[in-house]
Amino acid sequence: MGRKLKRANLWLRRKVNLPLLLVAGVIIVLLFINDDTSMSLNMEYERQIAQLNAEIKECRDSAKYYEEKYHSLMTGGEELERVAREQYNMQRPTEDVYHIK
């Protein structure tokens, strides 16, 4: 057993640069533990980015809907008349309007 241990120790000293291994280990530990660069914080940021991108898409869809509605109100007489009748209870001079509750 002692001979195998000596051979392993000799091989380890020849093949592995210990200071480089220690520096690499410290860097890896800092990546996982440090608050500024931790992997868990990075994953949290990625989740927040995905959530905000979904919210942006939803807001753009909503804005597009209202822009189309605005455009149809400004250009089309039928749409404007329908909105005026339904929302503002307007009528033509010759019409009678009945409200059913």
User: Are both 22 and 56 inside the same structural domain?
Assistant: no
| Domain total in the chain | 2
Q: pLDDT, tens digit, for every residue of 33-79?
A: 777 767 778 888 999 999 999 999 999 999 999 998 888 888 877 77
- Would you say how long the chain is, in residues? 101
Q: Average pLDDT in the 10-28 region?
A: 83
Give percent above pLDDT 90 in the chain: 23
> Among all chains, which residue has been given the structure tokens 């089309």?
76
Residue 32 pLDDT level (bands cut at 50, 70, 90): confident
User: Are both 21 and 52 inside the same structural domain?
Assistant: no
- Amino acid identity for residue 78 in this structure: E
User: Are both 26 and 54 inside the same structural domain?
Assistant: no
Residue 27 pLDDT exceeds 90 = no
Per the rule left: phi > 0, alpha: psi between -120 and 50, beta: everything else, 89 is: left
User: Are both 67 and 83 inside the same structural domain?
Assistant: yes
Instruction: Report the distance separating Cα 41 and Cα 32, nearest Å.
Output: 9
Residue 71 placed within a domain: yes
Expressed as residue numbers, the domain containing 53 is: 38-92
User: Are both 83 and 50 inside the same structural domain?
Assistant: yes
User: Are both 16 and 30 inside the same structural domain?
Assistant: yes
Instruction: Report the distance separating Cα 27 and Cα 34, nearest Å.
Output: 10
